[in-house]
Amino acid sequence: MMRINRVRQDWRDAGPVNRLIGHGFIDRRTFLTKSGELGIVFALTGVDGDCLDHPERDQVARRFQAVLRGLDERFRLQQYFLKQGGV
């Protein structure tokens, strides 16, 4: 089980996104970081886990893990969640 203090510390250490983006966006999805690397933004609609039973949640998690296995050490994945109610 993860401690809440660890989560809070990670959140504080993460800092604002604008510290990472240097020259801004090249197009709608691609941006250049201050260190000269390219970043890509993906917008995904999440799965409502409350409506799924255990095997369905397990299947979603396995598909996500399969995608992550395709990324090697050159890639870094950062997630930012925007929660909206009843759209």
**pTM for this entry:** 0.50
Structural domain contains residue 27: yes
Domain containing 58 equals: 4-69
Structural domain contains residue 78: no
Number of compact structural domains in the chain: 1
Structural domain contains residue 76: no
Instruction: Tell me the C-alpha to C-alpha distance, in Å, between residue 52 and each of 40, 57, 70, 86.
Output: 30, 6, 26, 18
Over residues 36-63, mean pLDDT: 85
Beta strands in 35-82 (DSSP E): 38-40
Instruction: Enter the tokens of residue 87.
Output: 């759209």
pLDDT in tens, 9-42: 777 776 666 666 666 778 888 888 777 788 888 7
Choose between 85 and 58: higher pLDDT. Answer: 58
Per-residue pLDDT, 2: 65
| Mean of the per-residue pLDDT values of the chain | 79
Structural domain contains residue 19: yes
Choose between 24 and 71: higher pLDDT. Answer: 71
